Structure 1
Amino acid sequence: MNDILPIILPILAVLVVLGALIPVLMKTRKNVKNYPGTRDANDPVQAPGAGTLVEDRPAPAPAPERKAPGGVEVEGLETVEVPDNAAGLETVPVETPLPVAGRLIRLRERLVKSNNILGKGLLALLSADKIDENVWDEVEETLLLADLGTEPTMQLVDALRERVKVIGTRDPEHVKALLREELIKLVDPTMDRTLHVERHADKPAVMMVVGVNGVGKTTTVGKLARVLVAEDKDVLLGAADTFRAAAAEQLATWGQRVGVPTVKSDIDGADPASVAYEAVKAGIDQEVDVVMIDTAGRLQNKVGLMDELSKVKRVIEKLAEVDEVLLVLDATTGQNGLNQARVFSEVVNITGIVLTKLDGTAKGGIVVAIQKSLGVPVKLIGLGEGADDLAPFDAEAFVDALLN
């Protein structure tokens, strides 16, 4: 018996210890299994959405794209500031633009000095001693690099090849005359480039200015208002770009410079349709000649923003016809500008193009590409930041500037 005790005692000790541990382990297991999905209110690391286990919590939904409501009811549109007339504007010297002829000369001088390869390159090629297939290939390449577009390029090259072949000339002046004639045909002087800004019997003419970010829409509105005032038009501006910081103030500053009132909202992110509506309504009440609506820049591939632009136009049409929708394009964007033009034309039916920054680009051919693709004329061109660097587009003057 004494021999067995040393063996039995350790076994009994182990059993006693296990007997004490088993209830504790069972209790702990039970707590783990039934641990609630909520944390105590005083827990400093409580996660958002308490009451749902973290692993079961759905991922946060992406922020919705800003999109205009589908309806165009004018009831409930936000109230915006409407000046009675220009009399209350801060007194500043009212500027007077150069006459049209003076602006055209200034723009032509700028274009002649610009880095354009369209005219210079073609003249160099077509004045060569021998005009063979290699030369014509280079002519095509030059035209395509100038963003003329494939179809207009082939049209111009085929016409020039035929005329050069028939006449057999190598004289630079003669070749230049042929090139000038064919380019003018492509730019098409027969297109109606008139700005429709004549007042109707009982309502003002309404103009919307649209485009992507950074092309100079607000500046274009200000410069054009300056021109219209010089032509004795009574103008009112509507600052419907409510999402760009200080856009309304920038437009109001242009208005002060030329002595016209600006309808704007003091609320950041206000409904642009509200501003446009109030501007047109004020234009009707005050019997002005032209109401110009500046809109926010928007990418052409953002459906919600394009819907919003469409809504602005529809709300305006509750009061008056929109006579002009000018699309402002940056000439340096080339073929991307053509893509922008197509989308904007589908959304708001643009009536004319304002081509800016034409002096710093070799891509003057975009004028032809846009007109050929959309059947919409380039009505105005801008060649700089100056107040007088905006003028009516003239096909012959443009081609002559390209050919220096």
Structure 2
Amino acid sequence: MQTALSKEKIAGRGESLSIYIESPEKQHKLYRRTMAIVIASQVFGGAGLAAGITVGALLAQDMLGTDSYAGVPAALFTLGSAAAALIVGRLSQRLGRRVGLAAGFLTGGLGAAGVVLAAVLNHVALLFVSLLVYGAGTATNLQARYAGTDIAPPTKRAKAISAAMMFTTFGAVAGPNFVNITGSVATSIGAPALSGPFMLATVAYLLAGLVLLIFLRPDPLIVAKAIAEAQQLKDSQDSTKPLHALEAGINKRGIIVGASVMVLTQIVMIAIMTMTPVHMKHHGHGLGEVGLVIGIHVAAMYLPSLLTGYLVDKYGRMPMSYASGVTLLLAGLLAAFAPGDSMVLLILALALLGLGWNFGLISGTAAIVDATSPQIRAKTQGTVDVLIALAGASGGALSGMVVAQSNYSTLSLAGGVLSLLLIPVVLWSRKKPQDGLPKGSK
């Protein structure tokens, strides 16, 4: 059992993988260290993420001179995140989380710098290309949530996901509330005010990448793969534990359900969120008020994560998916019927929108982790995140067109109704309950 595994070395550490295979205590210590490093990177990553969703639509509106394409920035950086999700997932599967995640964040930082340059030069083509590259940071910010689950016990996977997400809050909430400050910095050096948040994103994404590149050693995915390989070898020598073909079908079902939950929540959240700043601007709200609403929305996306993780582990992945659909429906209805000049109702609607997304993302992510082994996990996760990003791109692109042809209320109402599709997806997953799944996946 030790052969090649015991001789393989953890990159950059000189430690044998066998000490993790043989010691649950070492695994636990590595889990805690991994979580600390991922959390540190997520604080910076959250700040980088906030720029695009806060002022991306407004920047495009200014540069293009029309509302019809205000949803294009969200579409572009989510489309860019689709390509990046695939690359980061494949890179992580091949070389480990450290290399994959660091490359994604560093690329996102370069994209943010390109947006700043495009704003200064008033170059629309450069803006579009840079937003695509900036999307790599968005994809990586999401994929970092998987790193803590690689060696987490099955009953604590949702908690590991939620911890990484919650600490994204610190940067993600701070970012929108620095809109005025970063705007002042930008204008002081002769750049457009709306490029300021992207200056912050440049620094934040680069720092997130460097934290992971330098400190995420030993790599949790490489260790998890070694542990899984050792367990498979042990099981293959135990005639009382035959492998059943049915298990592959169960895993596929879990992947389909988890992906569907996350895709639907992403479409609804991106569509409504993208056009909220434009809707507010039309009703006389300033940048500071836009930053406040989006900041609270982002806080609701990430801050409840620890509680959500606990609920997902305790009550199951599917019940929390139901909760996601109901919460998003309430958000859509409130956004649709709230007066445009009511800050209180807009804040409540966007907070519910973020909370519903949080429920869906954590429950869906946990379902994906349950359904995969370390040998294929990062690759599968990257593929699923491509679908999530494409869903977000579609929601972002269509949102501007819907509002231009109709209004914000129609968009919000449609998003709320769309969230109800989560219910039949969950019912399908429970149609033929199977034994052998982790407790929380039922």
Q: Which has the higher helix share?
A: 2
TM-score above 0.5, yes or no: no
TM superposition score normalised by structure 2: 0.22
Choose between structure 1 and 2: higher strand proportion. Answer: 1
